A and B are shown apart, each in its own frame.
Chain A
Amino acid sequence: MGFNARGAWSIYTRELMRAMRTAFQSILSPVLTTSLYFVVFGTVIGARMEPVDGVPYGAFIIPGLLMLTLLGETTSNSSFGIYMPRFTGTIYELLSAPVGVAETLIGFVGAAATKGLILAAIILGTATLFVDYEIKYPLFAVGYIMLVTASFSLFGFILGIWADSFEKLGIIPLLILTPLTFLGGTFYSIDQLPEPWSTIALANPIAFLVSGLRWTFYGTSDVSIWVSLGLTLGFLALCTAVIAYIFKTGWRLRE
């Protein structure tokens, strides 16, 4: 028996159905939160702000806010997806089935990434209700969003295996990802910061992601798109390697 495609599909569809079952938490809640950002910072405050790098402020913050939601949601969805079977004990079925690392990742990470893309589409659709914007490189934007959601779904998967409590599950998205995204140029261009803060801000890896996505939207960025792309690909490769190691050693999965 080779690659178990039906096994991967079963995990994938089940995870998506789980998201549908919790649509309020998985989709409606982040869309509502992001919409509030658009209303407050985009429409109300943004109307009084100067354009940044030639982009109206309301439109300028869209890539950052999208990244903020995507990073938090894909990480949480993916980590929750693998943590819950560990917590409830239902992981026995996954471990005893003829599925390996490839099927598991396609199932769990693929579903989390798909949810991320659906969320991104809804958020961008919602944004048109409050802010006028156009995407300069739409295909590049879709590709970049896919890359980011895949990377952070993998990262969330690692988090879900590492965590041994619900508290730990929430620590990384809430205490690390969200602050780093806020400080990563979501609401301002890093170039606007005085020294040494503009240099220090570049130590924040999320700043490269926000900058990369903004480039796909408006063609302007704080750092080169190739640096952002390289960093994201490197993160994807690192997460994949860590997961391969976890499956090889059975760390926190098999006793």
Chain B
Amino acid sequence: MNETILEIEGLTKVYSGGVKALDGVDLTIRKGEIFALLGPNGAGKTTLIGAVCGLVRPTGGSITAFGHDLAHNWRAARARIGLVPQELSTDMFETVERAVSYSRGLFGHPPDKARIEEILKSLSLYEKRSSQIRELSGGMKRRVLIAKALAHEPELLFLDEPTAGVDVELRKGMWEQIAALRERGTTIILTTHYIEEAELMADRVGIIRAGRILMVDNKDAMMQRMGTTEAVITLSEPLPQLPETITQFPVTLSEDGRELCYRGGDGSGSGSEEVAVLTKALIAAGIDYRGIDVHDSSLEDIFVDLLSAEEAA
């Protein structure tokens, strides 16, 4: 999974109104990975996708996809890239099958009824193949967009907020479909507001804010490096001060002496192990407790912390 298929260097985009949507973005995408691009509204996620897919004209920088410079050899590159946009933009009066077949032809592929059928079946759309798109539910329309994007068998697929506005059940269905695509070797770049989605699916995560990439890392490495464990231990009796055997742990005592707060470890689970050692040390010191609330930080906590730190800076 180390072969680079997309290389973005110094990408900038300043819109005609003067808004700088991208500010020197550098990003490398490896073959076969799922890359999640996280960021608040207006961070530049959709602009970045648009610049790669030809919807936005970059102001500066370079994009190389599959070894082709997009500024010059865009046809060869675009033929291998698929896009599922955020908005439900389809020809509402077209039938599902014709809409998907059209997309295949548009990208230069010969008609292939069997392939179209396979795509429709994989997205549970086959029964609706002769229906006009306007007759479908919102979730189905989104699946039609995915089917259209897959019609030309792209090697790199952009999913811009693929589960925005869909119910929990359908969202899980989408995750299964994305996992199936990865199994087939498709490289996927997804933007999402649901950090749970990124946590569940992504191999690597990039965090973007105000047009700048703040961090790119393997999801697990990021969790390990920036993750923490927080444990609140409610004591049976208030403590005037911490005994020496307990001060070696990263703990603080609340003002009223009734709660002990542990904050330490990393995203690997070492924090939970240390909390277990801490509880034994408390009992050994004769300190009883009534309850423990342990919380490992999620990608969302890391995301919020990172953005808060950036804001403070």
Contacts and interface: CB of A to CB of B under 8 A. Distances in A.
Interface centre among B55, B57, B93, B110 (most CB of A within 10 A): B55
Nearest to B91: A90
B83 A7 contact: no
B55 A96 contact: yes
B76 interface: yes
Given A96-B81, A97-B78, A98-B79, A89 B54 contact: no
B105 A10 contact: yes
Contacts of A254: 54-57
A93 B76 contact: no
B106 A89 contact: no
A115 B74 CA distance: 32
Contacts of A250: 57
B57 A255 contact: yes
B305 interface: no
A94 B106 contact: yes
B109 A6 contact: yes
B53 interface: yes
A98 B108 contact: yes
Contacts of B28: none
A4 B108 CA distance: 6
Contacts of B53: 92, 95-96
Interface in A107-151: none
A9 B109 CA distance: 11
B56 A255 contact: yes
A100 B107 CA distance: 11
A248 to B, nearest CB: 10
Contacts of B108: 1, 4-7, 98
B106 A7 contact: yes
Interface in A9-33: 9-11, 14, 17, 21
Nearest to B82: A96
A97 B107 CA distance: 6
Contacts of B87: 89
B289 interface: no
Contacts of B55: 92, 95-96, 254-255
Contacts of A165: none
B75 interface: yes
A6 B53 CA distance: 20
A92 B76 contact: no
A247 to B, nearest CB: 11
Question: Which residue among A4, A10, A90, A96 has the maximum number of chain B CB atoms within 10 Å of its CB?
Answer: A96
B54 A100 contact: no
A205 B39 CA distance: 55
Interface residues of B, number: 31
A172 interface: no
B77 to A, nearest CB: 8
Contacts of B105: 6-7, 9-10
Contact of A90 (B76, B89, B98): B89
A101 to B, nearest CB: 12
A2 interface: yes
Nearest to B77: A98
Interface string B83-117: 10101011111000010001101111110000000
Nearest to A96: B53
Contacts of B57: 250, 254-255
Contacts of A100: 75
B54 A95 contact: yes
A251 to B, nearest CB: 10
A231 interface: no
Nearest to B92: A88
Nearest to A9: B105
B93 A21 contact: yes
B148 interface: yes
A6 to B, nearest CB: 5
A89 B74 CA distance: 21
A21 B132 CA distance: 12
Nearest to A2: B75
B50 interface: yes
A10 B106 contact: yes
A99 interface: yes
Contact of A93 (B109, B110, B148): B148
Contact of A98 (B90, B102, B107): B107
B15 interface: yes
B49 to A, nearest CB: 10
Nearest to B87: A89
Interface string B19-48: 000000000000000000000000000000
B72 to A, nearest CB: 12
Contacts of B92: 88
B75 A4 contact: yes
Given A90-B91, A92-B85, A254-B54, A6 B79 contact: no
B113 to A, nearest CB: 15
5 A-B pairs with least C-beta separation = A10-B105, A89-B89, A98-B75, A96-B53, A1-B75
16 contacts: A1-B75, A1-B79, A2-B75, A6-B106, A6-B110, A7-B106, A7-B108, A21-B93, A88-B92, A89-B85, A89-B87, A90-B89, A96-B53, A97-B107, A255-B50, A255-B57
